[in-house]
Structure 1
Amino acid sequence: MSTVEGWECRLVGTDDWRPVPVPGSWEQTGIPLDHPGPVDYRATFDVPVGGARLRLRFGAVSYACEVLVNGRVAGQHVGMWDAFEVDITGLVTPGQPAEVLVRAEKPASLTGGPDAPPVPGRYPARETLAGFLPYVWGHSHGGVWRPVELLVTGECALGDVDVSGTADGRLSVAATLLGPGELTVSVRDPSGVVVARSVGNGTLTIPDPRPWSPHDPALYAVTVHTSGGDSKTVYTGLRTLEADGSLLRLNGEPLYPRMILSWGWYPDQLHPDPGPERVRADLIELRRLGFNGVKLCLWFPPDYYFAIADELGMLLWVELPMWLPHPTPHFRTQLFAEASRLVRAAANHPSVILLTLGCELSSAVGADVLGPLYDLVKRLAPGTLVRDNSGSGEAYGGLLDEFADFDDHHFYCEPAYFRGTLDHFAPRWRAARPWLFGEFCDLDTFRDLRRLDSPWWTSADPAVNPQGARWQYDVPDQEKTLRGNGFWDRGAELERISARQAVLHRKVTLEAVRVRADTSGYVITGERDTPISTAGLFDDSGALKVDAASFAQFNADLVVGLDWDRRRAWTAGGDRPAPWDTWCHPAGALVRPHLVLAHHGRTGGRAEVRWRVDLADGGEAESAAVEPGAVEPGLVKPGADASGLVEPGLVEAGPVEPGPDASGLVASGSLAADIAAGAVAGLGIAAFTVPAVDRPRRAVLRVEVDCAGQRTSNSWSFWFLPDRGWPGPVAVVDPAGRLTDLAALGAQVVPVETPGAVLLATAWTEPVRQHLRAGGNAVLLVDAACVDPPLPVAAMPFWREAVKVIEPHEAWGDFPHDGWTDLQFAGMAPDLALDVTALPIGGRPLLRRVDTRTSQVHDYAVEVPWSAGRLIVSTLRFDGSGGDQPLGLRRNTSAAYLLGQWVRALGKES
């Protein structure tokens, strides 16, 4: 076997031959990115003497091609991801050079987003299995993007070799012979010793089998020989994957797939063939982050990718490249032909445990396609779990009567709505089976373009960077946008803040998944930044954005998370959930975090737990006594609801414990529990009472767990707030009823016309404007129901796709923050922002939002002069009540404290 080298290419119809890399793509030679071809490739090779059969093996060509050797047709192929061979025995002369010419066409891109018309071409992208790469950088790669090899064999040559094994030592071999002859098989164990032989295809029994797993990726070498002298060695593993209710088991042991989403994007090249060294380095780094696998989302990598995953023990989820298809007759024919070839190639590898037929499919693809395709894939890959539609038909308008071995949803949620979304889609009464999240948990970070060396996909020149299929096409305008809104020179600050927010978002989301016993695994979006998204854990240069050891604390076999007591409120004559602020607590509050262990290690055992709570900056808290009768966590002061009834279920805590010692230790303890492998179970409660503090203080709960030879740790921040009472008199205009529990906070509510009172309003009414005209100051809390607010608003997520920037302003007072929005903002995070194109003269922002995709700036809080007074306008949700946010202002401890700071600042100016 030898590699054919020295390739040239040209656009058909021209004589402009130019060198082209193989493997590579024709776009690397300067052919326009949106040109679909055809493009001719040519190379010359020497034909050896003595071979009875000669074949050219193409690793992959995008997308459709015809192969000519010495001017005569040798074969055709359609499909951009799989290898194929053409027999050239009768087309060449032994001992003489031969010329091979490949005429290729790639999927024709679109002109301006997923629903735009296609560019001219024989193969429109949405009528092919082009996958998701066209939507990442706009186009498909074209040409001979994998190596071309000359195979010289006897008459009895080997075609495909399919091998699979089970953990009990059964090994199946099925090889195709291309000529008459006999077949022999020999198997070597991981140490190189021959342990089995056979003649012909069939099943062998391996003595003392050593199963393959991520903990022990043992590989057996299966060598197939023909009587004509041809041979091939395939490395495989013995493993058995089963579903035990919602729990996956590999070789009988619990398995919790923790995967990263890969779209096959490598920014330094225009084709998904990065080379073995790059793949190996990436997979090793992902292991350090706690991942045990990769989802190959809508692309199919080179064969070495699978081999390296097998060797390293990294799990793979293969997804056929079907997304937003137009299922024409050509598409349907190709779907089954290509699926058969791709699945057979993947099924040889023990690392491949999951297969999905497509992603987020709508009703365009029905049971007439997905049913037979599911049956085909199950037959070709019996050792895997298979699903028709990653994301589910019920979520994307597709097939509801599924063909599936597991449940799969793609939840891109704001934290406040995540648990509710899980509850809504939870399997409940359905037959127990694994529930995985085939992609979820993204958070775009800020990309500082000043650090990049102007890659082509940042260009505003459509000749250099045509939009193509991309729906997100903001990068070319980002510099102009950032310069216009004043954030261009603040890129380093925005990157730093957004990196911290991204880790926080992933931590909160993953822990919420892991403390549920009905979840079975997940795929995080995504592996690396792309032209349409900066949600990668690797940036554009390939550098890791997060600390690997810290990330692995909540992304491992063993993860400890938190849960909380439940509360309910009697409202309008009935019970309702009453969430409260679990992250911020007043002095004297009893805090009761429940420690929950997700144990997906190999063996169960005794879990030994150590926990401690320390002030983050050390030192003692205020020593002044707090009167006995500690406050319920999340409540500034217990009180009655609007009906005058004391809320059922409120229990006061005991006397305040002594304050922290000189080192800052608040409390510590130990717990123990027996935990079975594969279980999610409570370890106990790390209860402590908040000491008196003279200023807001951040504390950290640290937990260490030793269980069955494994160790894990995790930590969470809390904020302790002083009880200073409500600052001064306030007037209230609240037709929305968002501030009904102000009295429970101890606020002195006075009439609107009271001199010196700060007005709190939830509607922009004439009394509010009159108060400002008279020289009064006010806070206006804007929500979607606010009619004709003084500043326009726009709906958008708070956490996702945004950097929150806390600007200097005296209204922050001593509200605790480290320059970014940590979980003290969770209870007031809105889904609405102020659409302030230009701040009014004299306006001063408090909290800003920089969109990580568009670079546009919005505000969550801004102070503006209004008539003779000062007005803070904010969309922050001080009354919580969105998703699982605290119910009402008095349960929203952090929000109530911040509102008090704003009142205090405005009151000083009255």
Structure 2
Amino acid sequence: MKKTILLIALSLFLGSSFAQWSPAGDKIKTKWAEEIDVNNVLPEYPRPIMERADWKNLNGLWEYAIKKVGTSEPANFDGQILVPFAVESSLSGVQKRVGDDNELWYKRSFTVPSNWKNKKVLLHFGGVDWRSDIWVNDVKVGTHEGGYAPFSFDVTPFLNKSGDQKLVVKVWDPTDRGYQPRGKQVNRPEGIWYTPVTGIWQTVWLEPVAEKHIEFVRTTANIDRNSVAVELQTSGTNYADLYQVEVFDGNTKIATVKASAKQSIDIVIPDAKLWDTDSPFLYDLKVSLLSNGKVVDQVDSYFAMRKVSTRRDKHGIVRLQLNNKDVFQFGPLDQGWWPDGLYTAPTDEALKYDIVKTKEFGYNMIRKHVKVEPARWYTHCDQLGILVWQDMPNGGHSPQWQMRKYFDGTELKRSAESEANYRAEWKAIMDFLYSNPSIVCWVPFNEAWGQFKTQEIVEWTKAYDPSRLVNPASGGNHYPVGDMLDLHNYPHPELYLYDAQRATVLGEYGGIGLALEDHLWATDRNWGYVQFKNKKEVTNEYVKYGKQLLDLINAGFSAAVYTQTTDVEGEVNGLMTYDRKVIKIEEDRVRQINQEICNSLND
């Protein structure tokens, strides 16, 4: 009888949760929107490159309120919001604009598992756009600025000894009325500019750790020396504390090393299996922190043995190399937007889907365009074997844009506050993604959007991470720094400028448009650089551009990026519709020309 009552109560609770939430608005949605369980939203471990066994997901229904800037915590909230979907998105269940005159408030309660006793409790945010203030049990525990890198707080001192804990988050986001990195978000979306994303847009979670614990694991492979460097950042440790690293090839342990917690270490990897796009082999790591001979913390990680570099070929053209072999890097411009979740994929399967299709289309690279994805996206790339060019999300406008010559104008002059903000977030993004082997190139600027002190920023980027290439300014303004000269040309490929000292790449081209009824975000204002009527016409044009690109590879191009993976809002120039329900090209023909392009530099 008691069991029956409990089941009835549970079903009523779950039923009420579903009744309180449904997608908002009437825009198109992906098939994954129908799979969302409000009691189990994005349940996967959010940081797979450094995984602990114990954690607690705080995604789900929270209370929300939109209030004027400067208002105290609301006594009454406006309703419920599904975290981690931005308040402007359909999947939030709200779909309201906030604007820079208002602040977005969140509130929920949580409990700390009893077996976390005597542990520190870390509160993690995968991504919150833009400025956030956090309170636990009415005590302000921290402030963070930045929409693209994860952050956390040790909330242990502020927790009640038992029972419910109160969590409140306040967010302010000026979108394009501020100086902060924002990607393609604008307050008035049109053309290539999209809907604002305000507030929590990645998983919120709790994690128990010991007083002495690992904060991050940083790995750097060196295939020329058959070794990998491992560096830890720890909290609470001293010189006498040790860490142990165990390296696994599948289930076989191939190395065990120890070092002081304050030291980095090189590990020899005998007969190393190299990671590439055809065979993306990953070694597993188990990292243990020891104090007085006892394991006090342990994380699972992975790394890959791979190298990216440039080298001049026999014709004098500077080529991009993977593992000391010339590789023509070719892939789509991937913006990572969703009609239902905006910045946030509805499910992990959805997050992975675009990468899978990119591989199936025959590409070997993705340019992640002015957005940073959740950590799981990069792990999918690591596992599937796709090269990633990672853009810095832009913010601000430069006074001029020169495409067809080296820049001789006046660069944007940022305020001291704006410049410090850019530098801090760029460094945080690089730190966040440093150990993901799929990332082969950093792109600090795109088309002069917010571009400033180019030489200084590029040289700092290259010095901070010498293991990767740096594409200094995709599409201009061009300076003779970094590893590439990056041209943009729509719709067809064109080589109108060439650098004999660096790799010359085509950072954007294409944009072939096809508007498909019932799969449009906006029915009255769709565009592509060129428009066609059906899949066959689109494919014919795509293949024509592909053949032109092949000729230009011989003339000097060493990489290319096709615009784009999917339609996005009013743009209908994707290989797939925005809702991912229709492939807009003939896959076999596209795969054939893509593979010919990717293999064009093979011996």
User: Aligning the two structures, in what range does the TM-score lie when normalised by the shorter sequence?
Assistant: 0.7 to 0.9
Counterpart residue type for residue 94 of structure 2: G
The superposition leaves residues 478-515 of structure 1 with CA deviations (integer Å, 9 ceiling, x where unpaired) of 9xxxxxxxxxxxxxxx9973433322222222211212
The superposition leaves residues 355-390 of structure 1 with CA deviations (integer Å, 9 ceiling, x where unpaired) of 11010116x6333xx333223322333221102211
Deviation at 1:272, TM superposition (A): 3.1
The superposition leaves residues 3-31 of structure 1 with CA deviations (integer Å, 9 ceiling, x where unpaired) of 12442211135523422112211223435
Deviation at 1:264, TM superposition (A): 1.6
Match of 2:451 among 342, 358, 365: 365
Contact 1:106 1:140 in 2 (8 A): no
Residues 170 and 275 of structure 1: is their aligned pair in 2 closer, same or farther, counting only changes over 3 Å?
A: farther
Residues 300 and 70 of structure 1: is their aligned pair in 2 closer, same or farther, counting only changes over 3 Å?
A: same
Residues 496 and 523 of structure 1: is their aligned pair in 2 closer, same or farther, counting only changes over 3 Å?
A: closer
Mapping of residues 3-42 of structure 1, within 5 Å? 3-5=57-59, 6-12=61-67, 13=71, 15-27=76-88, 28-30=92-94, 32-33=96-97, 35-36=99-100, 37-42=102-107
Residues 283 and 354 of structure 1: is their aligned pair in 2 closer, same or farther, counting only changes over 3 Å?
A: same
CA distance in 1, matches of 2:237, 2:597: 54
1:236 partnered with 2:303: yes
SS at 1:7's partner residue? strand
The superposition leaves residues 800-858 of structure 1 with CA deviations (integer Å, 9 ceiling, x where unpaired) of xxxxxxxxxxxxxxxxxxxxxxxxxxxxxxxxxxxxxxxxxxxxxxxxxxxxxxxxxxx
Mapping of residues 182-193 of structure 1, within 5 Å? 182-193=241-252
Counterpart residue type for residue 353 of structure 2: A
Deviation at 1:552, TM superposition (A): 1.4
Deviation at 1:255, TM superposition (A): 1.1
Residues 199 and 94 of structure 1: is their aligned pair in 2 closer, same or farther, counting only changes over 3 Å?
A: farther
Contact 1:53 1:153 in 2 (8 A): yes
Residues 66 and 558 of structure 1: is their aligned pair in 2 closer, same or farther, counting only changes over 3 Å?
A: closer
Aligned to 1:82: 149
Q: Which has the larger radius of gyration?
A: 1
Residues 229 and 79 of structure 1: is their aligned pair in 2 closer, same or farther, counting only changes over 3 Å?
A: same
Match of 2:583 among 544, 547, 553: 544
Counterpart residue type for residue 412 of structure 1: Y
Counterpart residue type for residue 35 of structure 1: G
SS at 2:107's partner residue? strand
Deviation at 1:146, TM superposition (A): 1.1
CA distance in 2, matches of 1:310, 1:129: 26
Contact 1:9 1:26 in 2 (8 A): no
The superposition leaves residues 688-742 of structure 1 with CA deviations (integer Å, 9 ceiling, x where unpaired) of xxxxxxxxxxxxxxxxxxxxxxxxxxxxxxxxxxxxxxxxxxxxxxxxxxxxxxx
Aligned to 1:403: 481
CA distance in 2, matches of 1:51, 1:380: 37
Residues 390 and 185 of structure 1: is their aligned pair in 2 closer, same or farther, counting only changes over 3 Å?
A: farther
CA distance in 1, matches of 2:185, 2:516: 20
Mapping of residues 346-495 of structure 1, within 5 Å? 346-361=433-448, 365-367=451-453, 370-393=454-477, 400-413=478-491, 421-422=494-495, 424-427=496-499, 430-431=500-501, 433-448=502-517, 451-452=518-519, 457-458=522-523, 474-475=525-526
Deviation at 1:143, TM superposition (A): 1.4
Contact 1:442 1:535 in 2 (8 A): yes
Mapping of residues 226-625 of structure 1, within 5 Å? 226-227=289-290, 229-245=296-312, 246-325=318-397, 327-361=414-448, 365-367=451-453, 370-393=454-477, 400-413=478-491, 421-422=494-495, 424-427=496-499, 430-431=500-501, 433-448=502-517, 451-452=518-519, 457-458=522-523, 474-475=525-526, 497-516=533-552, 517=554, 518-542=556-580, 543-557=582-596, 599-601=600-602
CA distance in 1, matches of 2:567, 2:479: 35
Match of 1:172 among 209, 214, 229: 229
Deviation at 1:280, TM superposition (A): 2.4
Contact 2:512 2:532 in 1 (8 A): no
Contact 1:409 1:439 in 2 (8 A): yes
Residues 351 and 557 of structure 1: is their aligned pair in 2 closer, same or farther, counting only changes over 3 Å?
A: farther
CA distance in 1, matches of 2:209, 2:457: 35
Contact 2:98 2:104 in 1 (8 A): no
Counterpart residue type for residue 539 of structure 1: T
CA distance in 1, matches of 2:135, 2:149: 19
Contact 2:66 2:98 in 1 (8 A): no
Contact 1:344 1:381 in 2 (8 A): no
Structure showing greater relative contact order (alpha-carbon pairs closer than 8 Å, 6 or more residues apart) = 2
CA distance in 1, matches of 2:445, 2:374: 19
Residues 371 and 222 of structure 1: is their aligned pair in 2 closer, same or farther, counting only changes over 3 Å?
A: farther
CA distance in 1, matches of 2:287, 2:460: 26
Counterpart residue type for residue 509 of structure 1: Y
* Aligned residues between the structures: 496
Residues 284 and 558 of structure 1: is their aligned pair in 2 closer, same or farther, counting only changes over 3 Å?
A: same
Q: Structure 1 vs Structure 2: percent identity of aligned residues? A: 20
Over the aligned positions, Cα root-mean-square deviation in angstroms equals 2.4
SS at 1:379's partner residue? helix
Deviation at 1:184, TM superposition (A): 1.8
Residues 411 and 320 of structure 1: is their aligned pair in 2 closer, same or farther, counting only changes over 3 Å?
A: same
- Give unmatched runs, 5+ long, in structure 2: 1-54, 313-317, 399-413
CA distance in 2, matches of 1:31, 1:290: 36
Contact 1:288 1:549 in 2 (8 A): no
The superposition leaves residues 302-353 of structure 1 with CA deviations (integer Å, 9 ceiling, x where unpaired) of 0000000000001111000125447333321111111111012222111111
CA distance in 1, matches of 2:180, 2:567: 25
Aligned to 1:2: 56
Counterpart residue type for residue 442 of structure 2: L
Contact 2:328 2:600 in 1 (8 A): no
Counterpart residue type for residue 306 of structure 1: Y
Residues 328 and 272 of structure 1: is their aligned pair in 2 closer, same or farther, counting only changes over 3 Å?
A: farther
Counterpart residue type for residue 82 of structure 1: A
Deviation at 1:32, TM superposition (A): 2.6
User: Scaled by the length of structure 1, what TM-score is found?
Assistant: 0.52
CA distance in 2, matches of 1:16, 1:531: 30
Moved over 6 A (4+): none
Counterpart residue type for residue 11 of structure 1: I
Mapping of residues 776-791 of structure 1, within 5 Å? none
1:130 partnered with 2:182: yes
Deviation at 1:549, TM superposition (A): 1.1
- Give unmatched runs, 5+ long, in structure 1: 110-117, 119-123, 394-399, 459-472, 479-493, 560-597, 602-676, 678-910
Deviation at 1:402, TM superposition (A): 3.2
Match of 2:273 among 210, 224, 228: 210
CA distance in 2, matches of 1:57, 1:235: 21
Contact 1:47 1:94 in 2 (8 A): no
Deviation at 1:445, TM superposition (A): 1.8
CA distance in 2, matches of 1:62, 1:600: 42
CA distance in 2, matches of 1:312, 1:272: 21
Counterpart residue type for residue 71 of structure 1: D
